[in-house]
Amino acid sequence: MVLVLDIGNSDITIGLFDLDELKHVWRIPAVAERPELFYGIKFRDYFLEAGLPITAVEKIVLSSVVPNLTGKIINVTVSLFEKNPIVLGPDIYPKLSIEVLNPYEIGSDLVANAVAAHSLFSKNCIVIDFGTALTFTTISGEGKILGVAIAPGLKTAIRALSQNTAKLFDVPLEQPKSALGKNTVHAIQAGILLGYEGLVKSMIERIKGELNDPEIATVATGGLSTIITPPNGTFTRVEPNLTLNGLRLVAACV
């Protein structure tokens, strides 16, 4: 089995693959201040609850955009599974099926997304990742990352807006029935959620125009990818676990 770890700003997402089948997905809030022991116990508990032996893990691949957590999670995997993880980064990129733009600047999660998307489509494609940030990663049919666009993620935008108003509101991420908000919570939902639908559609159309490719494939991913509902046809596919699948493919390349 292959264990993949996506350490993001909000969560550590853990996936366990048996060949190409994703058997388990677990999430732990990403809190850099927590000790290694906390994460080690969580990992062990997940395996115990699933009835899985630690020895079932044959390979580990890790992507991290949180440097203060990277070392801790590496130590946990070495201690618990007695295996050094493959850490996705510039040293690994030359071995992949894609060409990475600015390898020391791009997030390794976006690289994993690009690997998975290129495997899915083998043509021009855009990955729209709904995470702490909303990212648009464009990959050519030849497997070259052409560029990335970044905007604040949905939760980030709502948190920034609610924390800077005179009154604090706990705004749930729910699609409003109307763009005409009748109270503060509904008004924020309308502005952010419905507004982001337009943002996503506009960015996709802009990229299609720049590449002169109206048939470009689009795949939505990330924990919040099912919340936004752009007009039919905006997304070719919705794959919430695209990053994990990308990390699985990385394991096969290295």
Extract the runs of DSSP E, i.e. beta strands, from the chain: 2-7, 11-18, 21-29, 59-64, 86-87, 125-130, 133-139, 145-152, 217-221, 237-238
Q: What is the pLDDT of residue 158?
A: 80
Distance, CA of 94 to CA of 10 (rounded, Å) = 28
User: In 3-state terms, what secondary structure has residue 81?
Assistant: helix
Q: What is the pLDDT of residue 183?
A: 84
Q: What percent of the chain has pLDDT over 90?
A: 72
pLDDT under 50 in the chain at which residues? none
The answer to whether 169 and 181 have CB atoms below 8 angstroms apart is no
The answer to whether 143 and 118 have CB atoms below 8 angstroms apart is yes
Distance, CA of 71 to CA of 170 (rounded, Å) = 34
Q: What is the pLDDT of residue 15?
A: 96
Q: What is the pLDDT of residue 34?
A: 93
* 64-73 pLDDT per residue, tens: 999 999 999 9
Q: What is the pLDDT of residue 194?
A: 86
Q: What is the pLDDT of residue 11?
A: 92
Q: What is the pLDDT of residue 232?
A: 65
Prediction pTM value = 0.91
Q: What is the pLDDT of residue 166?
A: 57
Domains in the chain, start-ordered, CATH in brackets?
A: 2-87 (3.30.420.40), 98-247 (3.30.420.40)
Structure-block tokens of residue 72: 């801790």
Q: What is the pLDDT of residue 208?
A: 96
The amino acid that residue 108 corresponds to is S
129 catalytic? Reply is no
Q: What is the pLDDT of residue 65?
A: 94
Distance, CA of 181 to CA of 65 (rounded, Å) = 36
Selecting among 11, 18, 109, 129, the annotated active-site residue is 109
Beta-bridge mates of residue 60: 3
* 118-141 pLDDT per residue, tens: 999 989 999 999 988 999 999 999
Structure-block tokens of residue 13: 């997402």
Q: What is the pLDDT of residue 230?
A: 64
